[in-house]
A and B are shown apart, each in its own frame.
Chain A
Amino acid sequence: MPEHTFILNGEQVTVDVEDDVRLLWVLRDVLGVMGPKYGCGVEVCKACASHINGKVFNPCAVRVGDVKPTDRITTIEGLPGTVGKPLHPMQQAWLDRDVAQCGYCQPGQIMTAVAKVRQAKAEGRKITDADLDEIRNICRCGTYNRIREAITAAAERM
């Protein structure tokens, strides 16, 4: 079986698995990293959203063979580590607003939100309602308004 090496939450990992297995299953079934959730497997629901080199992506739609040894994959578990704190400001904002209901979508929501704020900042502007409207992550519990409030609050602290 081919070997694949990449950097996961700050540490180099190597897995033995076929090239075309999607990264979501490599994370969950092979490496036991359970933060990214399955909600569709077709890049629609965004429950699996994680970061690659600081950008948000859906590991359900990436072959492990397409991940390079130098690629830095960050899941929700590794997000606090990117700021060197026990919690990322986005996670803290989520707690402040008591956003989660069942919580199943929330790792993906938070990873998407962080990227969305970074994107706006990179463009030298504040996050807008139009930005928030573009977020595709499903929350079947309907926590959407609290998500909007949390993102807006966290953006001030990022």
Chain B
Amino acid sequence: MADHRGSPQGMDRRRFLGYVLAAPTLMAAAELGGSAVAPEAAAAIPTLPPPADLFDLNDLLSTAAVPTSALITVQVHSDGTASFALPRAEVGQGVTTSTAMLIAEELGLPVEKIKITLADSRPELLFNQLTAASNTTISTYTPIRVAAAIAKGRLLAAAAIVLGDTVTNLTSKLGVITGGGGKSVTYGELAQRAASTRTEQVSVTLKPRSEFTVIGKPHNRIDALDAVTGRKVFAMDLRIPNALPTMVCRPPTINGKVRSVLNAAAVRAMPGITDVVTISTGVAVRGRTFGQCVDAVRALRVDWGKGTAAGASDASVLRELKAAELPLVVPPLPLLAKTLDAGFTFAFRSNSALEPNCAIADVRRDRAEIWGSLKSPIVAQQAIAAKIGLPQNAVRVHVTEGGGSFGRKLFFDAALEAAEISRTLGKPVKLMWHRTDDFRQGRTHPMCTSRLRATYAAGNVLTFEHRHTSVSTDFGHGLGEIITALAAKLPVGDFTFSQTVFQLTQTMPYNFGVTTQLLNEVNKGFNTGSMRNIYSPDVCCARELFVDQLAAKMGKDPYKFRQEFARDHRARAVLDKVAKVGNWGRAMPAGMAQGIAVHAEYKGFSAALVEIDCRPATVNRKIPSARTGPRVTKVVFAVDAGLAVNPRGLEAQMLGGISDGIALALTSSLHLKDGYFLEGSWDNYFYTRQWNVPKDVEIIVMPPTTGQPGGAGEFGVAASYAAVACAYTRATGTLPTTFPVNHDGPLGFDPLPTVPPIPQSPTDGLRNAF
């Protein structure tokens, strides 16, 4: 991104257009949307910038908003607060807090006085209500500030009249405007006076960055108190009249279909159960408590048809992937050039959040209401309307706070299913997936392979090729429509849809001469989606491992090599930072090692330095029902997000990304066998737990570089994942070829049965109390 955008004479000093809307109290508005970003040049044997450098997925998502005329509005109320309905999902990534900060900055109110809610689906926003690719702050940074600044201007003008003064004489602080004579008036008192009886367009100048007092300063989350007191309301905590607990008895293999139900009447007669009905995905049961629904699901006897992955296993999918790998084609080379090859396999992984798939639906004859944490509520609204045969405007979709997303909430599987059940029963339902269903039938990050080849001679890398081959990723959540709509504007030629996404997300941080990165996809039989990023974590892990190999072949230190070939000074800066703070190269005992990696994406740069302990005493430490293995002991992570609106929130996101990176490299995967995933519990799917947490984590938020915020939610994963993999390789002296590294080892748990599809809750909870 070009640097002028954050400079005093750049974008920040330009005037922006917005509106004052006719409303009883002051309401200011701006159009949601952003502008494409200018490229930045680079040079060594220069690698032509990949498309993602010129125009990345975020530009696409921002550009998608331009044709809409839909407005976002900041309203000032008579009690001195301001409110804003954010057309995005909050799933833990902190966008409600950073949004409140943007408004507080321009409006001059304390953050605590800004109330952020999540907007219902707003079809008029077209593509602009999709929470994806860490795009929220990138696309809303300017419009939200414009609306807030317009509100501030109106307040000042109204205050000037009340105080009998001129605007330039006024000072304002924390919601109070004071005139030259010392008289003052509050925002609350001005809220009605500053309101407009008609809608008019106004222009406004935004604060220069040098005057920021809120943006860029660490702030705690605005929902923290609710979170620690149990008051934060998630979908399943809502009490919608008569929306009784509902669960679905699911097939023993992926996407199997109900042929017949053998004992529906008997199950309907079970205690607490009100309904049993066959739907497209299984057999739904509704009852007084979820516990009784579990009993009912377990009691159902169902004849199941085959699923969409019948008979498939890890090995059979890997064969398909291998067969689909696009060839590596090295161009003609000087005689003395040498070649390096590598290949990696990445297992299926679950993108399940801790909150399971869930939604509430109340479908009536002529209208429907849906509640759920949805990142693509407009697409959900359209799909639900189509499924239940109602016009789109008869379906209201309320976006609730989400208990994590990691890709899951881009889709609306539970909302669609809840709507189908509610329509079939004619009753409201509170649908929740069992955890085991979430692992076995829920979406996964697809299995994939990466093949790499580089040629090098005389201290230079001449060519670099990367071929990524993946089980097909489902993008049926709105990204599809966006890409179709904007296809002509994209600098990627006529690639397939997934290839387009790949090209728009894959940056290349190194000058490795002629560079090609390509994607191919196979097999649509799985329920897939992104998982805290689409391709990048795996692609980055493969690339960084390969870079270590290349450095070794060329006789160079991994850090020095990266620094030398980095295409961008921002990449070098984060590398230098972690190398210095993490004391790169320090002596370590045998079986321990450091690893370093760098990643560019979301208009930002990140680097991680990791230390790992692979000594037997550590690897074999015993924790009941747990995956122990190697332990990451230290992580130093540097992030340059252009401009961190809330550095504390950014740190939190990086911390989460590190936890994911450790899991991806070492412990967490799904094993496919006979058409189903063996994992069915958090004690089978080994996401990072306290015993695998590094005790020493230091996250460094780099000072602002571009002056424009980059994405944060997904950005922490790739570099930490890659650095753990590199450290592991150096500690053990063996290059792993399958990730996570333990995937092909002993299973580490006894798989739950598939019939009944969910386990009964234990009864020994009192004995285990401590």
Contacts and interface: CB of A to CB of B under 8 A. Distances in A.
A144 B662 CA distance: 12
Contacts of A153: none
5 contacts: A43-B765, A60-B765, A61-B762, A100-B92, A103-B401
Contacts of A3: none
Contacts of A80: 229
B690 A144 contact: yes
Nearest to B293: A25
Interface in A111-136: 115, 119, 129, 132-136
B236 A77 contact: no
B707 to A, nearest CB: 25
Contact of B220 (A37, A39, A95): A95
Contacts of B292: 18, 21, 25
A55 B769 contact: yes
Contacts of A36: 230
A22 B291 contact: yes
B134 to A, nearest CB: 14
Interface stretch (B182-190, B348-356, B452-460, B520-528): B348-356
Contacts of A75: 230
A52 B768 CA distance: 11
A70 interface: no
B763 interface: yes
B656 A143 contact: yes
Nearest to B288: A29
B435 A40 contact: yes
A155 interface: no
A62 interface: yes
Interface string B51-89: 000000000000000000000000000000000000000
Contacts of A105: 354, 403
Interface in B641-668: 648, 652-653, 655-660
A77 to B, nearest CB: 5
A25 B220 CA distance: 32
A140 to B, nearest CB: 4
A21 B91 CA distance: 30
B230 A42 contact: no
A38 B288 CA distance: 16
Given A95-B225, A102-B403, A133-B623, A142 B762 contact: no
B228 A94 contact: yes
A84 interface: no
B765 A57 contact: yes
A2 to B, nearest CB: 11
Given A17-B289, A101-B656, A22 B223 contact: no
B128 to A, nearest CB: 23
Interface in A15-64: 17-18, 20-26, 28-30, 32, 34-45, 47, 52, 55-63
Interface of B: 91-94, 220-221, 223-230, 232-234, 236-237, 239, 245, 271-272, 288-292, 294, 352-356, 401-404, 406, 432, 434-435, 623, 625-626, 648, 652-653, 655-660, 681-683, 687-691, 693-695, 697, 758-759, 761-766, 768-770
A8 interface: no
Contacts of A37: 234, 354-355, 403
A38 B356 contact: yes
A59 B768 CA distance: 11
Contacts of B225: 95
Nearest to A138: B682
Given A56-B769, A61-B768, A44 B404 contact: no
B352 A140 contact: yes
A121 to B, nearest CB: 13
B762 A42 contact: yes
A34 B231 CA distance: 8
Given A38-B290, A44-B682, A133-B623, 17 more contacts: A21-B292, A25-B245, A34-B236, A39-B435, A40-B682, A57-B766, A95-B225, A102-B402, A104-B355, A119-B770, A137-B690, A139-B659, A140-B404, A141-B659, A142-B657, A142-B660, A146-B655
Given A38-B432, A77-B230, A143 B769 contact: no
Interface string A60-77: 111100100000000111
Contacts of A94: 224, 227-228
Contacts of B236: 28, 34, 38
B769 A146 contact: no
A146 B221 CA distance: 14
Given A44-B681, A138-B682, A143 B354 contact: no
Given A77-B229, A94-B224, A103-B92, A25 B693 contact: no
Contacts of B224: 94-95, 98-100
A140 B652 contact: no
A52 B658 contact: no
B354 A102 contact: yes
Contact of B682 (A45, A103, A145, A146): A45
A139 B688 CA distance: 8
Contact of A91 (B220, B228, B291, B689): B228
A107 B689 CA distance: 17
Contacts of A102: 91-92, 353-355, 401-404
A33 to B, nearest CB: 8
B687 A57 contact: no
Question: Which 6 residue pairs spanning A and B have beta carbons closest together?
Answer: A142-B659, A35-B230, A102-B92, A104-B403, A103-B227, A61-B765
Given A77-B230, A134-B691, A103 B403 contact: yes
Contacts of B697: 145
Given A44-B682, A61-B761, A104 B354 contact: yes
Given A29-B289, A76-B229, A77-B230, A104 B765 contact: no
Contacts of A106: 227-228
A4 interface: no
Given A34-B237, A104-B234, A42 B432 contact: no
A141 B693 CA distance: 13
A109 B737 CA distance: 36
A32 to B, nearest CB: 6
B291 A101 contact: no
A95 B92 contact: no
Contact of A44 (B356, B659, B683): B683
Contacts of A41: 290, 294, 434-435, 758-759, 761
Given A52-B766, A62-B765, A103-B232, A146 B652 contact: yes
B435 A143 contact: no
A57 B91 CA distance: 27
Contacts of B766: 52, 57, 62, 66
Contact of A98 (B221, B690, B694, B770): B221
B354 A47 contact: yes
Contacts of B687: 138, 140
A85 to B, nearest CB: 12
Contacts of A63: 763
B435 A100 contact: no
A42 B239 CA distance: 24
Contacts of B656: 101, 141-143
A115 B229 contact: no
Contacts of A134: 623, 690-691
Contacts of B353: 102, 104, 140
A57 B762 CA distance: 12
Given A38-B290, A60-B765, A148-B693, A100 B221 contact: yes
B768 A141 contact: no
Nearest to B717: A142
B655 A143 contact: yes
Nearest to B355: A104
Contacts of A119: 770
B226 A103 contact: yes
